[in-house]
Amino acid sequence: MENETIRLIEVKESIFDDNERVADTLRARLKGEKTFLVNLMASPGGGKTSTVIQTVARLEESIRVGVLEADIDSMVDAERVAAEGILAIQMRTGGFCHLDASMVSEGVDVLGSVPLDLIFLENVGNLVCPAEFDTGAALNAMILSIPEGDDKPLKYPLMFSVCDVILLNKIDTEALFDFDRHRFEAGVRRVNATAPIFEISCRTGEGIDAWVAWLTAKIETHNA
Protein backbone atom coordinates (compact mmCIF):
# COMPACT_ATOMS: atom_id res chain seq x y z
CA MET A 1 0.00 0.00 0.00
CA GLU A 2 3.01 2.30 0.01
CA ASN A 3 2.56 5.17 -2.38
CA GLU A 4 5.90 6.08 -3.88
CA THR A 5 4.74 9.57 -4.78
CA ILE A 6 4.29 10.54 -1.13
CA ARG A 7 7.32 11.82 0.67
CA LEU A 8 7.72 11.16 4.35
CA ILE A 9 9.84 13.33 6.61
CA GLU A 10 10.58 12.72 10.26
CA VAL A 11 10.43 15.96 12.23
CA LYS A 12 11.93 16.65 15.62
CA GLU A 13 11.47 19.37 18.20
CA SER A 14 14.11 22.10 18.13
CA ILE A 15 14.48 22.72 21.83
CA PHE A 16 17.06 25.45 21.42
CA ASP A 17 15.03 27.53 19.03
CA ASP A 18 13.02 30.57 19.82
CA ASN A 19 9.74 29.33 18.35
CA GLU A 20 8.17 32.79 18.05
CA ARG A 21 11.12 34.04 16.03
CA VAL A 22 11.12 31.01 13.71
CA ALA A 23 7.36 31.38 13.27
CA ASP A 24 7.60 35.08 12.44
CA THR A 25 10.41 34.39 9.95
CA LEU A 26 8.37 31.68 8.20
CA ARG A 27 5.27 33.89 8.11
CA ALA A 28 7.20 36.78 6.56
CA ARG A 29 8.84 34.48 4.00
CA LEU A 30 5.51 32.95 2.92
CA LYS A 31 3.96 36.42 2.68
CA GLY A 32 6.79 37.35 0.29
CA GLU A 33 6.26 34.16 -1.70
CA LYS A 34 2.49 34.79 -1.84
CA THR A 35 1.76 31.47 -0.21
CA PHE A 36 -1.08 31.33 2.33
CA LEU A 37 -0.41 28.83 5.13
CA VAL A 38 -3.43 27.52 7.06
CA ASN A 39 -2.86 25.66 10.34
CA LEU A 40 -5.77 23.23 10.75
CA MET A 41 -6.33 21.90 14.27
CA ALA A 42 -8.92 19.49 15.72
CA SER A 43 -9.43 16.47 17.97
CA PRO A 44 -8.60 13.02 16.63
CA GLY A 45 -11.34 12.19 14.14
CA GLY A 46 -12.74 15.72 14.00
CA GLY A 47 -12.51 15.74 10.20
CA LYS A 48 -9.29 17.55 9.32
CA THR A 49 -8.38 15.40 6.33
CA SER A 50 -11.96 15.31 5.03
CA THR A 51 -12.15 19.09 5.32
CA VAL A 52 -8.93 19.51 3.35
CA ILE A 53 -10.21 17.21 0.60
CA GLN A 54 -13.66 18.84 0.42
CA THR A 55 -12.17 22.33 0.46
CA VAL A 56 -9.58 21.72 -2.23
CA ALA A 57 -12.24 20.13 -4.46
CA ARG A 58 -14.21 23.40 -4.39
CA LEU A 59 -11.36 25.92 -4.73
CA GLU A 60 -10.86 27.65 -8.04
CA GLU A 61 -8.46 25.64 -10.21
CA SER A 62 -6.10 28.60 -10.44
CA ILE A 63 -5.27 28.21 -6.74
CA ARG A 64 -2.33 25.81 -6.46
CA VAL A 65 -2.45 23.79 -3.25
CA GLY A 66 -0.06 21.67 -1.20
CA VAL A 67 -0.78 19.76 2.01
CA LEU A 68 1.45 19.00 4.98
CA GLU A 69 0.02 16.07 6.90
CA ALA A 70 1.38 15.76 10.42
CA ASP A 71 0.91 12.65 12.47
CA ILE A 72 2.58 10.79 15.28
CA ASP A 73 2.73 7.72 13.12
CA SER A 74 1.32 6.28 9.88
CA MET A 75 0.92 7.62 6.34
CA VAL A 76 -2.87 7.27 6.33
CA ASP A 77 -3.77 10.92 5.86
CA ALA A 78 -1.20 11.76 3.18
CA GLU A 79 -2.30 8.69 1.24
CA ARG A 80 -5.95 9.79 1.41
CA VAL A 81 -5.11 13.31 0.25
CA ALA A 82 -2.73 12.14 -2.49
CA ALA A 83 -5.39 9.73 -3.75
CA GLU A 84 -7.44 12.85 -4.61
CA GLY A 85 -4.60 14.11 -6.78
CA ILE A 86 -3.47 16.70 -4.24
CA LEU A 87 0.23 17.35 -3.62
CA ALA A 88 0.96 16.09 -0.10
CA ILE A 89 3.79 15.09 2.17
CA GLN A 90 3.60 13.26 5.47
CA MET A 91 5.43 14.67 8.49
CA ARG A 92 5.90 12.08 11.19
CA THR A 93 6.47 13.51 14.68
CA GLY A 94 7.51 10.20 16.26
CA GLY A 95 5.31 10.53 19.33
CA PHE A 96 5.40 14.29 19.60
CA CYS A 97 2.05 15.92 20.37
CA HIS A 98 2.18 19.12 18.32
CA LEU A 99 4.10 20.96 15.59
CA ASP A 100 6.45 23.84 16.18
CA ALA A 101 7.54 26.41 13.61
CA SER A 102 10.85 24.67 12.88
CA MET A 103 9.10 21.44 11.95
CA VAL A 104 6.69 23.36 9.74
CA SER A 105 9.54 25.25 8.05
CA GLU A 106 11.16 21.93 7.24
CA GLY A 107 7.89 20.60 5.82
CA VAL A 108 7.36 23.76 3.76
CA ASP A 109 10.88 23.40 2.31
CA VAL A 110 10.33 19.77 1.34
CA LEU A 111 6.90 20.54 -0.14
CA GLY A 112 8.28 23.51 -2.07
CA SER A 113 6.26 26.62 -1.27
CA VAL A 114 7.24 29.01 -4.10
CA PRO A 115 4.79 27.72 -6.77
CA LEU A 116 1.96 27.26 -4.26
CA ASP A 117 -0.82 29.71 -3.39
CA LEU A 118 -2.13 27.76 -0.43
CA ILE A 119 -0.66 25.23 1.99
CA PHE A 120 -2.87 23.31 4.39
CA LEU A 121 -1.02 22.17 7.48
CA GLU A 122 -2.92 19.37 9.17
CA ASN A 123 -1.68 19.50 12.76
CA VAL A 124 -1.59 16.54 15.17
CA GLY A 125 -5.09 15.57 16.37
CA ASN A 126 -5.17 17.22 19.79
CA LEU A 127 -7.16 20.14 21.27
CA VAL A 128 -4.48 20.97 23.84
CA CYS A 129 -0.83 21.18 22.82
CA PRO A 130 -1.06 22.50 19.22
CA ALA A 131 -2.78 25.63 20.57
CA GLU A 132 0.38 26.57 22.49
CA PHE A 133 2.73 26.77 19.50
CA ASP A 134 2.78 29.35 16.73
CA THR A 135 3.42 27.38 13.53
CA GLY A 136 4.10 30.40 11.34
CA ALA A 137 0.70 30.09 9.67
CA ALA A 138 -1.19 33.13 8.39
CA LEU A 139 -4.47 31.60 9.58
CA ASN A 140 -5.33 29.30 12.49
CA ALA A 141 -8.42 27.25 11.75
CA MET A 142 -10.00 24.73 14.07
CA ILE A 143 -12.65 22.11 13.57
CA LEU A 144 -15.04 20.90 16.23
CA SER A 145 -17.38 18.09 15.28
CA ILE A 146 -20.93 17.71 16.59
CA PRO A 147 -20.29 14.32 18.28
CA GLU A 148 -17.63 15.92 20.51
CA GLY A 149 -20.21 18.00 22.35
CA ASP A 150 -21.13 21.65 22.85
CA ASP A 151 -19.11 22.04 26.07
CA LYS A 152 -15.68 21.90 24.42
CA PRO A 153 -15.00 25.69 24.40
CA LEU A 154 -15.28 25.60 28.21
CA LYS A 155 -12.83 22.72 28.45
CA TYR A 156 -10.25 23.72 25.84
CA PRO A 157 -10.35 27.52 26.06
CA LEU A 158 -6.86 28.17 24.69
CA MET A 159 -7.61 26.32 21.43
CA PHE A 160 -10.84 28.26 20.95
CA SER A 161 -9.10 31.55 21.78
CA VAL A 162 -6.17 31.22 19.35
CA CYS A 163 -8.18 30.26 16.27
CA ASP A 164 -9.19 32.77 13.60
CA VAL A 165 -12.04 30.67 12.26
CA ILE A 166 -14.06 27.70 13.55
CA LEU A 167 -15.59 24.96 11.42
CA LEU A 168 -18.42 23.07 13.11
CA ASN A 169 -18.29 19.74 11.27
CA LYS A 170 -20.57 16.67 10.98
CA ILE A 171 -23.75 18.75 11.21
CA ASP A 172 -25.48 15.95 9.28
CA THR A 173 -25.26 13.83 12.46
CA GLU A 174 -26.98 16.38 14.66
CA ALA A 175 -30.15 14.35 15.25
CA LEU A 176 -28.12 11.71 17.10
CA PHE A 177 -26.32 14.01 19.53
CA ASP A 178 -27.44 16.53 22.14
CA PHE A 179 -25.54 19.50 20.74
CA ASP A 180 -26.88 22.89 21.74
CA ARG A 181 -25.66 25.52 19.25
CA HIS A 182 -26.45 28.42 21.56
CA ARG A 183 -24.46 26.85 24.39
CA PHE A 184 -21.60 26.20 21.96
CA GLU A 185 -21.58 29.74 20.60
CA ALA A 186 -21.82 31.24 24.07
CA GLY A 187 -18.80 29.15 25.08
CA VAL A 188 -16.85 30.28 22.03
CA ARG A 189 -17.66 33.95 22.59
CA ARG A 190 -16.39 33.82 26.18
CA VAL A 191 -12.86 33.40 24.80
CA ASN A 192 -13.10 34.53 21.17
CA ALA A 193 -15.18 37.55 20.18
CA THR A 194 -14.53 37.55 16.46
CA ALA A 195 -13.81 34.16 14.85
CA PRO A 196 -16.56 33.31 12.36
CA ILE A 197 -18.20 29.89 12.78
CA PHE A 198 -19.01 27.92 9.63
CA GLU A 199 -21.31 24.92 9.93
CA ILE A 200 -20.27 22.18 7.55
CA SER A 201 -20.70 18.52 6.74
CA CYS A 202 -17.84 16.93 4.86
CA ARG A 203 -20.09 13.93 4.29
CA THR A 204 -22.96 15.75 2.57
CA GLY A 205 -21.02 18.83 1.40
CA GLU A 206 -23.41 21.17 3.22
CA GLY A 207 -21.91 24.52 4.11
CA ILE A 208 -18.55 23.93 2.44
CA ASP A 209 -19.17 26.55 -0.28
CA ALA A 210 -19.57 29.37 2.25
CA TRP A 211 -16.35 28.40 4.03
CA VAL A 212 -14.47 28.13 0.72
CA ALA A 213 -15.70 31.57 -0.37
CA TRP A 214 -14.48 33.07 2.90
CA LEU A 215 -11.14 31.26 2.63
CA THR A 216 -10.68 32.32 -0.98
CA ALA A 217 -11.09 35.98 0.00
CA LYS A 218 -8.48 35.51 2.75
CA ILE A 219 -6.05 33.90 0.26
CA GLU A 220 -6.57 36.72 -2.25
CA THR A 221 -5.96 39.43 0.36
CA HIS A 222 -2.82 37.71 1.68
CA ASN A 223 -1.33 36.91 -1.74
CA ALA A 224 -2.19 40.24 -3.40
Window 56 to 85, contacts with a copy of itself (CB under 8 A): 71-74, 76-77
Is 213 a binding residue for a copy of itself by CB under 8 A? The answer is: no
The residue from 29, 157, 185, 189 that contacts a copy of itself (CB under 8 A) is 157
Collect contacts of 93-96 with beta carbons under 8 A, ≥24 apart: 93/11, 93/124, 94/10, 94/11, 94/12, 96/11, 96/12, 96/13, 96/72, 96/124
Tell me the DSSP string of 139-198: EEEEEEEGGG-TTHHHHSHHHHHH-SEEEEE-GGGGGGS---HHHHHHHHHHH-SS--EE
Cβ atoms of 99 and 135 within 8 Å: the answer is: yes
x-or-dash pattern for a copy of itself, window 116-155, by CB under 8 A?
A: --------xxxxxx--x------------x-xxx-xx-xx
x-or-dash pattern for a copy of itself, window 160-179, by CB under 8 A?
A: ----------x-xx--xx--
Helix 19-32 vs helix 101-111: angle between axes, to the nearest 10 degrees?
30
x-or-dash pattern for a copy of itself, window 7-26, by CB under 8 A?
A: --------------------
- Closest contact distance (angstroms) between CB of 96 and a copy of itself is 8
Which residues are at the interface with a copy of itself (CB under 8 A)? 43-45, 71-74, 76-77, 95, 97, 124-129, 132, 145, 147-149, 151-152, 154-158, 170, 172-173, 176-177, 203
